[in-house]
Amino acid sequence: MPEPIKTTRVVVGMSGGVDSSATAALLLQQGYDVVGITLKLWPQDCMSRAEDKCCGPQAVMDARAVCDQLGIPYYLIDESAEFQRKVIQYFADEYKAGRTPNPCVMCNQNLKFGRLLERADQLGAQYIATGHFARVEPSPDGTRLLLKRGRDSHKDQSYFLFSLRQDQLARTLFPLGEKTKTDTREVARQCELKTADKEESMEICFVPDNDYGGFLEQANLAKKHRGEIVDLRGQVLGMHDGIEFYTIGQRKGLGISAPKPLYVVELDAAANRVVVGDESALARERFEVDRCNWIAYASPPPSIEATVRIRYHHPGTPATITLLPGGGASVRLHAPQRAVTPGQAAVFYDGETVLGGGWIR
């Protein structure tokens, strides 16, 4: 982290939660000139859809109150049109294509580390900061910036940040990277911030009750359309209301009966089919990723031994990554893994260091 001086201005992305509140407080204590910004991401019907989320009115009030307590400027900036275009529409399009999206990565890439940097420039700020549990450190040879896991293994959020570029990392501070969640709440309590004991949300911020299918329907982003549920041999077992409402590995809510549990193993958008099989059919040893972003390398080697995480809560597994033409890669897992899901991010690690990642095809 750069040596703070009063002329070094930092814009903190304020979500109204304890993490961003503690981030602002820590930077202020360290001598930075701190400005708080909340990006208003959801349009006016947020009141009925996500009132208590990071885009909702309560979150805005909490963020404003924290900035008032800390005595720092606060701005609320409407980015709802960009959020609709870059995150919401992507979310719907991925489900329609039979993939399972990861909106948090897209929001980080396009809004929190995209539009927020633009706003920082307008305010004359050298840096932005967020409440992510992750770290940025220079490489041993000093030629690149490395993204590393947060010290709190239970809260580490480096997975969601794999798509960040070197120029974005160079202007980003993660004050919570060395801290635990307990430490973070203690910082907020010592500063008597109203968010110190605020419960954190574990759901997608714009999807109430984690009901993404209901959200897609309510927002008129998907409509029910009948199709077949088939087994691996193509035998029709039942009907579905749209592949958008299913994910790989899903067992409940299929509406079919069978002598043993069946799981969604494939979503065939072209044929409008949901393919099911037993649990063994979920195991995969090989897959490909596209749109790779490499943080640790200017030019990655043709073959890399790494640990890969195929979703946020996945613990990681050893793999061999082989580069493909066009910015993709082939991933060979040393041990088959369950429910490798198209549309999710596969992120590659060497110990605590994020090497890079891509999107599962």
Active site members: 107, 205
**Order of strands, edge to edge, in the sheet holding 273-277?**
236-240, 227-230, 273-277, 263-268
345 has which bridge partners? 359
Residues 332 and 330: their CA atoms lie apart, in Å, by 7
Which helix (H) or strand (E) covers residue 288, if one does? strand 283-294
Q: In angstroms, what CA-CA distances link 262 with 52, 249, 275, 343, 349?
A: 36, 9, 10, 22, 33
The total of other beta-carbon atoms located within 10 Å of residue 163's CB is 23
Q: Which ranges in 53-203 belong to alpha helices (H)?
A: 57-70, 80-83, 89-96, 103-107, 116-122, 166-169, 181-190
Which helix (H) or strand (E) covers residue 275, if one does? strand 273-277
Residues 156 and 138: their CA atoms lie apart, in Å, by 19
Residues 121 and 75: their CA atoms lie apart, in Å, by 14
Residue found by looking up tokens 């979150």 in the block: 59
Q: Which of 317, 331, 340 is nearest to 265 (CA)?
A: 340
DSSP for 159-180?
GGGTT--HHHHTTEE-TTTT--
